[in-house]
Amino acid sequence: MMKSRVLSSDLLRVCAALVMVFVVVVQVDAAVPNYNPLRDPSFGPIPGEDPSYSDYLGVAPPFPANLSSPILNTTSGTPGLDDVVFQNLLSAEWLVYNVYQQGVELFNASDFINAGFPNTTFDRIAQIRDSEAGHSRVFQDQISNASVVPGPCKYDYRLTGDPAQFLAFATFIELTSMALVSGLTEQVKLDISKGALAVIGQAEARHEAWFLTDIWGSPKYGGLPFAGPVDTFYPYATQILDTTIVFIVNGSCPPANPPYPIGAQNIPRLRFNTNTTSTLTPGTTIELIVERQLPNTDNYYAVFFHALNTYSVPFNTSTGIVTIPAQIEPLGLLLIAIADEPGAPTAESVVAGPLPILLAPLSLRPYLAGYFRP
């Protein structure tokens, strides 16, 4: 009997210990809900340490694109000061990354060589894809544990299988990205965030330089190898983000994602009439079409943003026809907005747009016309 009581006592102590362990585990799990290893910046390849962000040439999605679910918040505290900026930027980065991922899946090296492009073109597309994946990882790490880290959606870029069309579109995306990143620098509050955007912008500039040098400047197009001395600055970055929604397959974003873009003004989109013979050359006319009817007033202006300059032209909503200012250099990115004040001095003064147009060599422009239809 004595032995039996001892065993029972030992068993009770073991059970009590197991209960305590269970309670501790439950408490830890309650304190760290929605745990995801991607919250740890040391998890997976680290940008700046792992060469896979520079030299991977495979077709399968690289890290972190191979783990595509959103990362839920693990606390209910106050979001980081720049969380919204990086949530918006990461959502846009997934869109940019997927341009190159689809390019790697759609083409091979021979496709570009046979189309008259340098024999390194496919490798460069894959390497830019790697770099964009690294940007995604950097942006994930900038979002605090109190905010959801958005995952990718599905995207339709209307790629036709024509290497020239793909390269023209990718150049358009790169130039627009530069305008976006420069605009976001005015939204971030922390110095470390400003630094992150600056160095990401430098990497994007290298992508852009390759496109302009090897594609625009190639014998096939005979274009100039640069897009002017200054990239175009557009001060209202969220409006640029809003234009990219057209590439997202409706209903394809993870339900846990935050809205995209956060802070959208939901102003009408702007496009131009592709059925006209407009060459999109400064000094020629263009017919602008506003997605929704604007209130009747004569006080509208088509505001052209190019380099660091703005040009305002009275805009008649009945005809939509305006002349692109002749003094604009026909290179780089042109952004057009409709505003109720000359110069569009505030985001609220913009009532439609912006419409990004690539002032590329004439031989590249036909490949881009389809992106401005509804």
Considering only CA atoms, give the Rg of the chain: 25
The whole-number pLDDT of residue 341 equals 96
> Which residues share a beta bridge with 335?
305, 356
The whole-number pLDDT of residue 366 equals 63
The whole-number pLDDT of residue 7 equals 41
How many angstroms separate the CA atoms of 336 and 45, rounded?
Answer: 40
Residue at 202 is within a domain? yes
- DSSP helix, strand, coil percent of the chain (3-state; round to 5): 40, 10, 45
The whole-number pLDDT of residue 16 equals 44
Please indicate, yes or no, whether residues 349 and 234 belong to a single structural domain of this protein: no
How many angstroms separate the CA atoms of 363 and 222, rounded?
Answer: 9
Residue 58: which CATH number? 1.20.1260
Please indicate, yes or no, whether residues 113 and 194 belong to a single structural domain of this protein: yes
Residue 322: which CATH number? 2.60.40
CA–chain centroid gap for 332, Å, is 18
Measured distance between the N- and C-terminal CA atoms of the chain, rounded to whole angstroms: 87
Residue at 37 is within a domain? no
DSSP annotation of 311: E
Please indicate, yes or no, whether residues 253 and 170 belong to a single structural domain of this protein: yes
How many angstroms separate the CA atoms of 94 and 107, rounded?
Answer: 20
Please indicate, yes or no, whether residues 176 and 243 belong to a single structural domain of this protein: yes
Please indicate, yes or no, whether residues 309 and 254 belong to a single structural domain of this protein: no
Burial class (CB in 10 A: 0-12, 13-18, 19+), 338: buried
Task: State the total domains in the chain.
Answer: 3
CA–chain centroid gap for 110, Å, is 28
The whole-number pLDDT of residue 13 equals 46
How many angstroms separate the CA atoms of 357 and 43, rounded?
Answer: 40
CB proximity list for 168: less than 8 A, separation 6 or greater: 358, 360, 364, 365, 367, 368
**Are 80 and 233 within 8 A, CB to CB?**
no
pLDDT averaged per 10 residues, the chain (length 374): 42 42 37 75 93 95 92 92 96 96 97 91 96 96 96 94 89 86 89 91 87 76 75 93 94 96 94 76 91 85 96 94 94 92 97 89 62 46
Residue at 4 is within a domain? yes
List, edge to edge, every strand of the sheet that includes 301-306.
309-314, 301-306, 332-339, 350-359
Indicate the SS3 state at residue 176: helix
Please indicate, yes or no, whether residues 216 and 240 belong to a single structural domain of this protein: yes
> Which residues share a beta bridge with 304?
311, 336
Strands 301-306 and 332-339: antiparallel
The whole-number pLDDT of residue 369 equals 54
Residue at 132 is within a domain? yes
CA–chain centroid gap for 317, Å, is 31
CB proximity list for 79: less than 8 A, separation 6 or greater: 144, 146, 147
Please indicate, yes or no, whether residues 248 and 320 belong to a single structural domain of this protein: no
Beta-carbon-side half-sphere exposure of residue 186 (alpha carbons within 13 Å): 11
Please indicate, yes or no, whether residues 261 and 163 belong to a single structural domain of this protein: yes
Please indicate, yes or no, whether residues 218 and 187 belong to a single structural domain of this protein: yes
Query: What is the pTM assigned to this prediction?
Result: 0.86
Residue at 36 is within a domain? no
User: Domain range holding 94?
Assistant: 43-266
Structure tokens at 1: 């009997």
Please indicate, yes or no, whether residues 242 and 329 belong to a single structural domain of this protein: no
How many angstroms separate the CA atoms of 173 and 154, rounded?
Answer: 17
The whole-number pLDDT of residue 15 equals 45
